[in-house]
Structure 1
């Protein structure tokens, strides 16, 4: 099969491309090589094991120029929760219109589509119940809203071709964009550890997340390509480990993966617009459909990320400080902002 991967030169796309080519498939990427994601755009292009069409996923003309594709994986997205609150046009254009065009392309050519959504569509969870695929959407960030609208934009196409929509939890692993302050808290922890700074945790650190290794997500996406959904309603699948990790546990795992032993942890009294307290995926449906289950625990995934990233360029805590400062200036944070 020849598989088109939108956003294919990025973090998840590179892992997926290797998984697919390892199974005998051919891959091609549609990617704009945006500098917020790619510190070395040409290096990312060269690393992709197939051709790379440098174009905008929300440009209909870009899709019209593509031929000879047997399946589409739509990964391209704007993903910064905080940034989405003040760059709404950009996020709407890529995450909604780009997704609609991916669906229209798949429907026009009669080929299967696997689209990446987000756990952000569920909104804030609870500490004692995971999110299930049939739960209602209650996004609390504009990013989550665009991912919910992106799913809705695929409904017409799903009546004509099989569409699998995957909602990953927090994805971590080798290859993340370490310079991007919207990558996530773990890259921020990496930067602080490398600079010998205390780890800064927002709030009391009891917030929970579900961290999935990128290789496990790539394996699930590849399975969905090879086991396409039937036309009709979208086949929705969660992706995660099904276990919770508190931010304090995350900090401890990050320290474990570093050369350091005794690193102080500071708590910052701040809450950013769009942040949630709890997230965890139910994996019941993965079991029901026979999809591959995750092999990495969250702890193993965190340690692997820190050790791989330790000597890589890009991570600097100043970028996260500036991103938080910008949110504060735009009135998108609350709390005292004081450390304790």
Structure 2
């Protein structure tokens, strides 16, 4: 059985659907350590997918709150499972652990987060690495897709909503930042596969992307081609990471490649937005 923290969130709810009877929710906020240990033992759990994470929009960007929350959630999970044996921690990290200015991101790229969210992911990784349990951390690019509530997420979802409501797309900054977009279903399929593979011999920290990098301006053009929709640039794009992932390492490790194209993501988000606005 596979335990999931953050099981009710955007990614977590998709993962729980994919796992079916092979997954169960771990509530780090409302359960005692003993309650969670009993739950893990009762379900004969061998892997915990750690998705619980502070939402950036709920915190001041550089107040330190996001970093502290991410670290505390990781330490809480370690405290719970440290007396136990043979738990594989499969943690969702972020490419925001990397700095701007790199041609692409690999496991050997230097860690130098541009914001508090990325620093929180670094501290989460460090906490898990210091435990006795084996960790696989996926430094994931920008996740897109439609949530269980029917609303599209990510920059694709934002553009779909703007197009429907205003007939105009607003681009932060100069639009030249490169975005690496991965669909939630592709990410979930990877998480399920890694969980089924079991713990690796050593800790693994790998970047994961969608293999379709493009600039924000190029993404906007995919939305506006063949329409009368206009684009505008607004304000500076503070804390905007630019770059894309070299997927060769995760492909070799898990024999996995993403299947969703950016065009498919746009089509899905536009359809979901029309349905939500009716």
Which stretch of structure 1 is more off in the superposition, 278-287 or 222-231?
222-231
Q: What is the RMSD computed on CA atoms of the aligned residues?
A: 2.8
Contact kept, 8 Å, 1:106 with 1:112, in 2: the verdict is no
Matched, 1:167 2:167: no
Q: Which residue of 2 aligns with 1:247?
A: 216
Residue 211 of structure 1 is aligned with which of 151, 157, 181?
181
Aligned to 1:143: 117
The question of whether the paired residues in 1 share the 8 Å contact of 2:37 and 2:81 is answered with no
In the alignment, structure 1 segments of 5+ residues that lack a partner are 31-52, 314-340
Q: Secondary structure at the match of 2:212?
A: coil
Q: 1:187 aligns with which of 153, 157, 160?
A: 157
Distance 1:93 1:57 in 2: 19
2:23 match:
27
2:70 is equivalent to residue 95 of structure 1: yes
| 176 and 77 in structure 1: CA distance in 2 versus 1, 3 angstrom threshold | farther
> Is residue 202 from structure 1 mapped to residue 172 from structure 2 by the alignment?
yes
Q: How many residues align?
A: 274
SS at match of 1:66: helix
The runs of 5 or more residues in structure 2 that have no matched partner are none
Q: Secondary structure at the match of 1:204?
A: coil
Residue of structure 2 aligned with 1:263, choices 207, 210, 229:
229
Alignment of 1:50-65 (within 5 A): 53=27, 56=29, 63-64=36-37
Q: Aligned partners of 1:178, 1:123: CA distance in 2, in Å?
A: 33
Residue 255 of structure 1 and its aligned partner are, at CA, apart by: 4.3
Which range moves more in the overlay, 58-67 or 70-79? 58-67
Maintained 8 Å contact 2:50/2:91: yes
Judge which range, 183-192 or 55-64, deviates more.
Answer: 55-64
Q: Which residue of 1 aligns with 2:240?
A: 275
C-alpha contact (below 8 Å) 2:160/2:266 kept by paired residues: no
Q: CA deviation at 1:265?
A: 0.4
Question: Which residue in 1 is equivalent to 2:5?
Answer: 6
Select the residue among 276, 285, 289 that pairs with 2:253.
Answer: 289
Indicate the residue corresponding to 1:80 in structure 2: 56
Provide the residue aligned with 1:45 in structure 2.
none
TM score, norm. by length of structure 2: 0.87
Shift of 1:207: 1.2
Distance 1:189 1:306 in 2: 9
1:193 and 1:62 map into 2 onto residues whose CA distance is 47
CA distance in 2, matches of 1:211, 1:8: 22
Distance 2:183 2:215 in 1: 16
Provide closer, same or farther for how the CA distance between residues 175 and 253 of structure 1 changes in structure 2, counting only shifts above 3 A.
farther
